[in-house]
């Protein structure tokens, strides 16, 4: 019996030491991982005043461990909306890292409405939306329009930055309003976010840590082996055009063999499954690029084309297209062979730059050439309307 008891005690001691060693190793591993994450946070390229707090750590853990499936979906949606955000922010001369705000606002869903009544990617309340000329009625809610709401959000964020001259405070004010931020500044006697945060509403105290965590996810997801869940291809490479006549989504679906759900997801601002008539072309239609080109050939003009999304190539996310109605179809500018004139403008007095030629490959278009050569699609179109008699030949300055 004594031998049995001694053996049992020995076994328990071995198990205890083994478990202790395992726990210590796991603890050491957790500490090491936390230190790595902290260093990555401070390396982020962002406009907010970075600080690695327990709240920031918790929010990062939400994305990389607790809810990885949510992170996979978010990373997939990025390919739909980030090109648009980036282009608008560049156009406005604003920091591109502001594109991470809709992740924490709406989960990158333009159709979502909060319990408080905020709607769209940027979660505008009705009163704020109307300040920035977004229409809201029984038929239309432009807070849900990705392009228009992004312009409005950029204008609002710039307005808040003009007040505080600090992007961290501007982002906090975007969440709770400038009145509450002003109160926190007065109570704390500081304009440092981390000094005044305790005087902000609870939701806003979590808002900046969420923003930092979302920024972390978008920059380091691969380090945590999180794989983006790719969205429907029809939602990624899209085009947007002004429309003047009423457009019924059911008719559109039947005429162009396009899934009704895709049409509704690409045009979430229209609540009744149709786009109203408008003399000034205020309203826009977004479809997969090839479908929109077909639509414009039948019912509109390429002059009405506003936006092209290059979701898989974010650096070329949006092109403002002008004077396109002289081109029957962008798709017609495809060829099986021929020469392409590339004329680059040199800023050296009045010297006329030489014409550079390249051969068109099968299926090449104005778009593909602009992307491959890193040139402006608008200029290619304008230049070739002026000089080009042969639609297979394109000059580019």
User: Above 70 in pLDDT, residue 188?
Assistant: yes
Cα-Cα-Cα-Cα dihedral sign, residues 175, 180, 181, 182: positive
Do 310 and 249 contact (CB within 8 A), yes or no?
A: no
Which pLDDT value is given to residue 378? 53
With bands split at pLDDT 50, 70 and 90, how would you rate the model's confidence at 337? very low
Do 150 and 86 contact (CB within 8 A), yes or no?
A: no
Residue pLDDT, tens place only, 45-59: 999 999 999 999 999
Residue pLDDT, tens place only, 100-114: 999 999 999 999 999
With bands split at pLDDT 50, 70 and 90, how would you rate the model's confidence at 338? very low
Residue pLDDT, tens place only, 131-160: 999 999 999 999 999 999 999 999 999 999
Residue pLDDT, tens place only, 311-335: 443 333 333 333 333 333 333 333 3
User: Above 70 in pLDDT, residue 23?
Assistant: no
With bands split at pLDDT 50, 70 and 90, how would you rate the model's confidence at 297? confident
Q: What is the value of pTM for the model shown?
A: 0.72
Which pLDDT value is given to residue 107? 97
Instruction: Pick left, alpha or beta for residue 172 (phi over 0 → left; psi -120 to 50 → alpha; otherwise beta).
Output: alpha
Which pLDDT value is given to residue 300? 75
Which pLDDT value is given to residue 324? 31
Average pLDDT value over all residues in the chain: 80
- Looking at 1.10.530.10, 1.10.3720.10, 1.10.620.20, 3.30.565.10, the CATH number of the domain 55-224 comes to 1.10.530.10
With bands split at pLDDT 50, 70 and 90, how would you rate the model's confidence at 301? confident
Euclidean distance between CA atoms 370 and 157, whole angstroms: 32
User: Above 60 in pLDDT, residue 68?
Assistant: yes
Tokens of 377: 């699609």
Tokens of 15: 């198990």
User: Above 70 in pLDDT, residue 9?
Assistant: no
Residue 357 has what DSSP assignment?
A: E
Domains of the chain: which residue ranges?
2-43, 55-224, 234-324, 333-397
Residue pLDDT, tens place only, 198-251: 999 999 999 999 999 999 999 999 999 999 999 998 998 898 999 999 999 999
């Amino acid at each position: 019996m004594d031998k049995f008891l001694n053996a049992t005690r020995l076994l328990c001691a071995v198990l205890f030491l083994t478990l202790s060693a395992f726990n210590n190793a796991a603890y050491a591993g957790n500490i090491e991982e936390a230190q790595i994450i902290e260093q990555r946070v401070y390396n982020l390229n962002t406009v907010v005043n970075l600080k690695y707090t327990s709240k920031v750590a918790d929010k990062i853990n939400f994305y990389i461990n607790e809810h990885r499936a949510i992170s996979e979906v978010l990373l997939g949606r990025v390919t739909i909306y980030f090109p648009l955000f980036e282009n608008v922010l560049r156009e406005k001369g604003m920091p591109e890292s502001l594109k991470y705000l809709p992740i924490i606002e709406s989960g990158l869903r333009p159709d979502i409405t909060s319990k408080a009544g905020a709607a769209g990617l940027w979660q505008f309340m009705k009163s704020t939306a109307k300040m920035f000329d977004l229409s809201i009625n029984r038929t239309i809610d432009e807070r849900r329009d990705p392009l228009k709401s992004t312009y409005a959000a950029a204008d609002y964020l710039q307005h808040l930055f003009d007040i505080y001259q600090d992007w961290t405070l501007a982002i906090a004010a975007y969440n709770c309003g400038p009145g509450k931020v002003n109160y926190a500044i007065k109570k704390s006697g500081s304009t440092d976010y981390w000094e005044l945060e305790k005087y902000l509403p609870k939701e806003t105290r979590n808002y900046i840590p969420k923003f930092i965590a979302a920024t972390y996810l978008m920059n380091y997801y691969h380090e945590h082996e999180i794989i983006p869940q790719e969205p429907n291809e029809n939602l990624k490479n899209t085009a947007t055009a002004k429309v003047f006549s009423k457009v019924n989504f059911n008719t559109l679906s039947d005429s162009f063999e396009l899934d009704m759900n895709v049409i509704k997801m690409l045009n979430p601002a229209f609540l009744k499954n149709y786009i109203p008539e408008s003399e000034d072309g205020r309203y826009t239609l977004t479809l997969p690029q090839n479908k929109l080109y077909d639509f414009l050939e039948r019912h509109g003009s390429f002059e009405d084309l506003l936006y092209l999304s290059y979701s898989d190539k974010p650096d070329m996310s949006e092109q403002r297209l002008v004077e396109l109605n002289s081109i029957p179809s962008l798709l017609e500018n495809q060829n099986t062979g021929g020469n392409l004139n590339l004329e680059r403008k040199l800023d050296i007095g009045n010297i006329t730059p030489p014409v550079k030629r390249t051969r068109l490959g099968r299926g090449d278009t104005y778009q593909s050439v602009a992307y491959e050569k890193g040139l402006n699609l608008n200029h290619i179109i304008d230049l070739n309307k002026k000089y080009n008699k042969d639609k297979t030949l394109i000059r580019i300055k």
